[in-house]
Structure 1
């Protein structure tokens, strides 16, 4: 493991930041309130931006803009919406380096991961462009005597979307692209820790979409997210986040009987039988467990292994995971593990490690915070859990 820190010039300039405002009705606008959230670079704990803490009034403005825009956007042909999705994909591709650096700077992502997220963002817009023109359904026919049946697909209306901090741009795109391609309009709330890449996307594509089709309101879940979930002009709310947040959204949405789409957290288990090759398992876990610094619900964080091969596998895991290069993403593309996204998450992870070891777990590798500034945890393998 390497955790050498080198002095590097900032790889994001002030001019490359997006406007630090809400994006409503095709323009960046001041917030209705005067409260702001600090956006922090997790590699050093320094505040890099202040973004508005949106209010119910800001959500109302965005929803009304989206509601008005839906009258036109919901009736344009799939061909026109498809062409808009392709245009957005091209804009993202043309600005891939900037978006990846901004994502790495804000979320503390390795550049390889941030670059992969941008590639996925391009892909989902292109995929949605095709899907918008390729609906399949049962043919019209007289399935009941004297009654002709057919299916007509129509957009729902205004969709509220809430995206998490671990994949801000990519999970934003997973919602933006299909929602808009289907003819809906959108009000999106990025995570308060990581709003910069979605705001930059809004800036870059402002000229592609009609005003009001895509809107961004920054702020906290208990304020902006709850307002979106309650709002009577929103037809559906889609959220990716924790189980607790999902319950809150579903409960708030129930009052207006709006549709709800929830993608909630989980934890992936790796099951290793005695005939599995320990070298291949160790190589797989190195990536599956530590991609995006382990900050995803699909991370392979628990290993259930046959006792007969446990000692050998632990040895191979320590050898593999011990080669991870730890550092600030600004140090270069060779950095594989970066900081956790926030001080709150960092303290939570430290608490897990401390409690596990107090209860008898043994750190075969790592086991604590890294000795450096920022929110870094050592690559860790715990045994005897």
Structure 2
């Protein structure tokens, strides 16, 4: 993404029907001309009020403008919120079965588009199609169907108060929800927020990440076929402009934000000034603890999943701190290095690629900076550096994995979120010691524990201060499980019945005297 802006009008477009609407065919990195998109506001695809656009650069080629999206500002945020506010009463008043049917129809329309969305994800985000982009698109379909099935669970309870009184509660939608999305996995994070907010009766304004907005705009095109105008709106632009305007807007009842801890802190502060509901899914520096009884190839595969190297390490749940018991440190590390060396960094559209591209040059340079800082520390050793053997490079933002060992838990590379394919390996001997090191972090999003001793594994899992702990697996996120962090990794939960009820509804108590 560049900061290049230009003026546009609604009739300056390369879409098939001469409008700013999304829809097939999706942009590709080989298109002669970039695709012009609009924002979805009140059922219409519109340009920014100021007529400005932002160039969307594909991570595959820093010189290739994939598309142009509107540079929304406060006026555009206001238009979207007003549209959502106008649509809210009618949408909230529908019988739950009607909202349920809408979500099921959206899922039915998304399913045949999974492959197209996966390919667009690859060029929009740089995520490899086989390891990340396709599963992300498939998860979107599953999420819409799952939350459609929960439509009837937005219900209250009654209290037995005798024949002379009636006491009951109602679960009511919050109103207008602003969902602010990140660039690393936009479809997946939209799946966490959008269907739950919609099925519980809220209207939504999504703010797409400026670096990877295209799949969200295409998702909106499908949703709009089955939703009343204004129920879903999508704005594009920079976070400090249109995103900030949504956070402070008096017409927004709930802000659901996924992104960095630093930005999330500001979101919570600004939204909190007007007592808006807020949920935050923020950064992580997740510990991955391997006990001495787990020096196996099978565990290596699961640890590899936990590193999120297949997403270029651009994941807040990345198990980026690998704690190896000293009895197996060398042998396990040897197995892991051998496995990582087999990974192929390449064109994310290629089925043979395990790892795709870093999102942009700014992030690529940030990763390099952390590596240089780690290499400057006394005693550090390089267990694996795939950069010299990297067969792809410019004009794309490709980066091979890096594994550093003999790392101290108090170094920057072990404390700060790098958001790149960098793994810090740390020795441990005693269980108390490794739990203390795992918890010696202001983050608390995810954790991974590997042991054949179920008692030791669960004892450790229960002591680690993380919102999501996986035992003997590195992947395995399931639709319906509560997802969210502790400490500076956020507040609130998503992607579950509990998350839907707690995050997108509020309780009204009703007491009736009958005599």
Greater displacement, 235-244 / 46-55? 46-55
| Aligned match of 2:153 | 134
CA distance in 2, matches of 1:359, 1:278: 30
Normalised by the length of structure 2, the TM-score is 0.69
Q: Deviations over 1:157-207 (max 9, x none)?
A: 111110111111121122110111111101110111010000011122322
Unaligned runs of 5+ in 1: 1-9
CA distance in 2, matches of 1:70, 1:14: 39
| Aligned match of 2:144 | 125
The offset of 1:366, in angstroms, is: 1.2
The answer as to whether partners of 2:156 and 2:171 remain within 8 angstroms in 1 is no
CA distance in 2, matches of 1:123, 1:186: 20
Q: Any residues of structure 2 matched to 1:24-63 within 5 Å, and which?
A: 24-45=41-62, 46-63=64-81
Q: Any residues of structure 2 matched to 1:75-90 within 5 Å, and which?
A: 75-90=93-108
The answer as to whether partners of 2:29 and 2:58 remain within 8 angstroms in 1 is no
| Aligned match of 1:347 | 365
| Aligned match of 2:256 | 238
Displacement over 6 Å in runs of 4+: 15-18
Is residue 319 of structure 1 aligned with residue 330 of structure 2?
A: no
RMSD over aligned CA atoms reads 2.1
Greater displacement, 267-276 / 186-195? 267-276
CA distance in 1, matches of 2:404, 2:154: 49
| Aligned match of 1:380 | 402
Q: Deviations over 1:30-58 (max 9, x none)?
A: 10124332211112223212222211100
* Aligned match for 2:223, one of 185, 202, 205: 205
CA distance in 1, matches of 2:252, 2:406: 50
The answer as to whether partners of 1:162 and 1:189 remain within 8 angstroms in 2 is yes
The answer as to whether partners of 1:350 and 1:368 remain within 8 angstroms in 2 is no
The offset of 1:14, in angstroms, is: 4.9
| Aligned match of 2:484 | none
CA distance in 2, matches of 1:228, 1:273: 46
CA distance in 2, matches of 1:327, 1:52: 31
The answer as to whether partners of 1:19 and 1:28 remain within 8 angstroms in 2 is no
Is residue 258 of structure 1 aligned with residue 276 of structure 2?
A: yes
Greater helix fraction, Structure 1 or Structure 2: 1
SS at match of 1:234: coil
Larger RCO: 1 or 2 (CA < 8 Å, sep 6+)? 1
The offset of 1:88, in angstroms, is: 0.7
Is residue 302 of structure 1 aligned with residue 337 of structure 2?
A: no
Is residue 334 of structure 1 aligned with residue 352 of structure 2?
A: yes
SS at match of 2:279: strand
CA distance in 2, matches of 1:101, 1:115: 8
Q: Any residues of structure 2 matched to 1:146-157 within 5 Å, and which?
A: 147-157=165-175
| Aligned match of 1:161 | 179
Greater displacement, 78-87 / 164-173? 164-173
CA distance in 1, matches of 2:303, 2:279: 30
Q: Deviations over 1:82-106 (max 9, x none)?
A: 0000011111102111111101110
Q: Any residues of structure 2 matched to 1:1-40 within 5 Å, and which?
A: 14=31, 20-40=37-57
The offset of 1:15, in angstroms, is: 11
Unaligned runs of 5+ in 2: 1-26, 408-515
Normalised by the length of structure 1, the TM-score is 0.92
Judged with a 3 Å threshold, the aligned counterparts in structure 2 of structure 1 residues 104 and 17 are, in CA distance, closer, same or farther, namely farther
CA distance in 2, matches of 1:61, 1:11: 30
Greater displacement, 355-364 / 309-318? 355-364
The offset of 1:17, in angstroms, is: 8.4
CA distance in 1, matches of 2:103, 2:261: 31
| Aligned match of 1:176 | 194
